[in-house]
Chain A
């Protein structure tokens, strides 16, 4: 289990986000608290229940320097979402989409979104904090932004699978034994 993320406000929070990793899969869970006790605000505090708020999950990735033998290493992720009683009328017209990050005309990160599960619109994707280290390695985050959970006790599960074979996304300096190429 990942560490529970606590917002930096002057109060105790129920859990709003948690995640669990098993093999190449990470389960990201966004939850709204169900008792109603944490739905109060005031004293410079914000509503701690997590209700009506989208949740952001930042998933780290790295890319090797462009001028290296493994520069064509391509991280590939599959992302699907499942909602549980999170909204009265969730959008149901969902299409699969390939979301990419490109540099110098080349796809450097590929995310297959909603390719397996398309019951409800649960999230959207984008990239953020993409930067280059002094050694040329590029680092960044795939951001999964969940839809706001508008019902008490509602939750959204996002299943993220790293489909990049035989290489840790955290260590692109190490050449892969097999590559997933575009």
Chain B
């Protein structure tokens, strides 16, 4: 079993410093986690008998986070050293900006942080559209994905039945 603990908690994951523990640890202060654990994830270290959990390590001063690897023919030796990760960034706040109108003036009451969707739209505008977006833009459509409705030009066949 692996117990993956994090310093801070978001709704779906932990962040801040983290460590994956594969052994009993009576005193978490050893890893600077005394009274700090906010998020715990517990899971088996093998998955479908095909993958195994490789715990976090430091290699030549570089932190390599814990991850799943395909099980090899030879079992790996147990790594007894737990390594605390550098702080992992938490999720960005998703609060919207609040604007208010006062005649021709728009006043920014509070600013929300740019969302991933907003970033994508911005990059699309900048890179391909001369910094302009038209209304109802929802991304590039694949050529041929639209159905092409043409007039049948034949009295017995209504346009909406005609396929071309």
Contacts and interface: CB of A to CB of B under 8 A. Distances in A.
Contact of B112 (A10, A60, A98, A132): A132
B60 interface: no
Interface string A145-182: 00000000000000000000000011000000000000
User: Which secondary structure dominates chain A's binding surface?
Assistant: strand
A8 B146 CA distance: 9
Contacts of A55: 134-135
Give the most central of A59, A100, A129: most B CB within 10 Å: A129
Contacts, number: 117
A107 to B, nearest CB: 8
Interface string A28-40: 1000000001000
B160 A43 contact: yes
A49 to B, nearest CB: 14
A100 B114 contact: no
Interface in A6-40: 6-8, 10-12, 16-17, 19, 21, 26, 28, 37
Looking at A7, A59, A130, the one whose CB has the most chain B CB atoms below 10 A away is: A130
B113 A59 contact: no
9 contacts: A6-B141, A6-B146, A10-B146, A11-B146, A11-B147, A58-B134, A60-B131, A127-B106, A138-B111
Interface of B: 92, 97, 99, 101, 104-108, 111-115, 118, 121-122, 125-126, 128-139, 141, 146-149, 151, 160
Interface of A: 2-3, 5-8, 10-12, 16-17, 19, 21, 26, 28, 37, 42-43, 55-60, 97-103, 108, 113, 126-127, 129-134, 138-139, 141, 169-170
